[in-house]
Amino acid sequence: MKAQREFDILIIGSGAAGLTLALKLAANASIAVLSKGDLTSGSTWLAQGGVAAVIDESDIEQNHAADTLTAGSFLSHSDAVNYTVENARESIDWLIEQGVPFSKENGQLHLTKEGGHSHRRIIHAADATGKAILQTLIEKAQAEPSISLIEHSVAIDLITTTKLGLSDNQCLGAYVLNSDTGVIDVFKARHTVLATGGASKAYLYTSNSDGASGDGIAMAWRSGCRVANMEFNQFHPTCLYHPQAKSFLVSEAVRGEGGKLKLPDGSAFMHKFDSRGELAPRDIVARAIDHEMKRLGADCLYLDISHRDDEFIKSHFPTIYQRCQQLGIDICNQPIPIVPAAHYTCGGVITDINGNTDIEGLYAIGETAFTGLHGANRLASNSLLECIVFATACATTIKKQLDTKFYYPVIPSWDESQVTDSDEDVIIAHNWEELRRFMWDYVGIVRTDKRLQRAKHRSDLLHKEIAEYYSNYKISKDLLELRNLALVSELIIQSAMLRKESRGLHFTLDYPQLGPQARDTILTPINYQWP
């Protein structure tokens, strides 16, 4: 039976950003947190490296800010950067208060170093920081009676006054599919928050979980929100290359602790591309690996940490060690086969510092949002930090509005009277494979105008097929994710076509030089021409 459920706050996404926001507001409101799968199915759970913050006495916040701006190819917004680094230590302290078991050495937080950082400032929990953070936040949220954690629930679309034919574009909640039962309910909320992560599943090879399908970005766009800098897709340089690895990430901290990138013949090569070698920012390292693989016709390259002491490797990288052992790779004695893979969406839904979008009552935080922090390339370990910092800011903003009375208009239930069950779900799988393949081939680490035009043509055809399918058949989780990924891929392609320079993660052979001005690429729904 279909229902209309009402909460003060609806949070779509159960990762670090969504759960932090829920916990910050638990004493003040009724909250629903939706998870597409299990609570641990998102990208936070997979995050290995850590959280960046100035802790060491030899480091200062200005250094962290400067490193962020440099890694972002000077496209980062200084206000967002400064706000983030200034609130980093407070965020770490809050996580420690919640009980996150960060690694220590001699009684002090152990700090590691990652690419693009000038100092050791990465606080971590061995090499499974995201898992440690999420486990802690889930336990805290489960203990709060005001927080309803609702698994296997897929947001279909936002409900707004504009969609209901009323004046002013205000968000009222969302239509939500229970993927276990197939029932679609209305979730009403005065404040709706998108914390759905990024869209790296648009690519054939990715370090992300299967749910990274850009849902929040797509829903916000369809509701009238602007997006920015969607062309900047970060490819993590080192994902484990093995047929059974399934997107397993080899943390940047391995390079931070002395790991060397090598060619199949065992020779080093990063010094030829950047004076910082293995610790250059991710965009440079990923392009270098991609270049060498194509030059040699190699299926993969290698990351070697075997020169370090065995006990050091096992204690600092237990997750990586164990996973490689399971696949017959002893990282204490042999190099790790690696390839670059889509990792992080630097663009997203445009917000201010407090998470406000273009629509009243709708917020975006975490990887879904574009705050200006990451610019053209995210600095390592700024992502988990961003989740905590901006969730906190968003909570403060929402808290100030909770006493405002609000009256909902009539919201109709989801209408399935005009659709039927599909007997051709294989089409979804084929379209998904086609989309991810042409995005990898044509909109990947290195781009050209010709490749982007080919991708645009394929995208246009795919859009028409998906729109027809969506209009005629009952929806499913797979169909919703395909629909959202196709839309976000279109936004990525269009944004890439508009940038006539190479900056950060967007590298094009047709415009290999940096442009004279650092400008964001902003797309607006009302001006956009669809196929």
How far is it, in rounded angstroms, from Cα 481 to Cα 479?
A: 5
CB of 307 closer than 8 Å to CB of 333: no
Grouping H, G, I as helix, E, B as strand and the rest as coil, residue 9 is strand
Q: What residue type is assigned to position 439 of the chain?
A: M
**Residues with Cβ < 8 Å from 97, sequence gap 6 or more?**
none
CB of 505 closer than 8 Å to CB of 235: yes
Grouping H, G, I as helix, E, B as strand and the rest as coil, residue 62 is helix
CB of 176 closer than 8 Å to CB of 34: yes
SS3 content of the chain, % helix, strand, coil (to 5): 35, 20, 45
Ramachandran angles phi, psi of 498, nearest 5°: -80, -20
How far is it, in rounded angstroms, from Cα 238 to Cα 300?
A: 10
Place of tokens 């949002």: 369
- The H or E element that residue 111 is part of is strand 111-112
**Residues with Cβ < 8 Å from 341, sequence gap 6 or more?**
203, 205, 206, 207, 235, 236, 239, 247, 249
Place of tokens 């997750």: 319
DSSP for 187-241 reads EEEEEEEE-----GGGSSSBSS-TT-S-HHHHHHHHHT--EE-TT-EEEEEEEE-
Which residues participate in catalysis according to the annotation?
A: 282
Tokens read off for 42: 């998102």
